Every structure is written in C-alpha cells, then in structure tokens.
Amino acid sequence: MAGVAAKAFTGLTGLKVAVNPTHTLGVLYSKTLRALAKMPAEYPYRKQTETLVVQRADIIKNTPTIMEAEQKIGMGQIEEVIIQAENELVLARNILEWRAWEPLAEKAPKDQWKWPL
C-alpha cells in the first residue's frame, strides 16, 4: 500500500497506531492459514475461517490505501482488524490443541443441545 497516510492516533483509548499494518496482517494471516491447514479439510471452522482470512489478505494486498482496506473489510480501523487477526490465530491454535473436530469421548447427556429447556 504505497498511499499509506500516517495518522497521529486511533481515537480509541489504549490502542496505538499500527506502524506497518500490511506486514503485520500478512504475518498473522499466513500463520493462521498454516494452523488451519492442519485441521481436517471438511471441518466447518477451517472452511469458514480460511475463506475469511484469504478474503481479507486479498483486500490488504490489493487495496492502495489503508483507509480503503478498512472500508472494504468493514470491521473498524486497521488496528482493530489486527487485534481480530491476533485473536483468530490464538483460537485456531487452541482448536488444534483441543482437536475439536473429533467425536466426543462420552455420549452427550440427554437434551444437552435442546433449547429452550
């Protein structure tokens, strides 16, 4: 993004301006995709998250300015998108550790998934 206009502050308490958001997001997205690749291909979380990450990476890569990327992504300022990407990476790694796609070790109690009770 050659046309990056430096902003002085985000206007959000405690959230500093990202120095190089395109690089930061590129690293986070590639790490997330590597974690997702270790999950079964048919696992719904993997499918949905891969789609989202690839879409956002494409926006970041092909948009001339950060402001345009923020608008296309539609999830707040780029600094907030970075926080979301960091949280998604943590979640993907946790799901890998939990192996959440495997069947339950024990049968679920009757009516566990029934709502309202």
Which residue has 């799901």 as its token pair? Answer: 95
End-to-end CA distance of the chain: 52
DSSP letter assigned to residue 40 = -
Residue 8 above 90 pLDDT? no
Q: What count of other Cβ atoms lies within 10 Å of the Cβ of residue 56?
A: 21
Give residues with Cβ within 8 angstroms of 24, minimum separation 6. Answer: 18, 82
Give residues with Cβ within 8 angstroms of 22, minimum separation 6. Answer: 1, 4, 60, 61, 66
- The pLDDT tens digits of the residues spanning 89-102 come to 999 999 999 999 99
Computed from CA positions of residues 23, 2, 17, 88, in that sequence, does the dihedral angle turn out positive or negative? negative
Predicted TM-score (pTM) of this structure: 0.87
- The pLDDT tens digits of the residues spanning 44-72 come to 999 999 999 999 999 999 999 999 999 99
32 band by pLDDT with thresholds 50, 70 and 90: very high
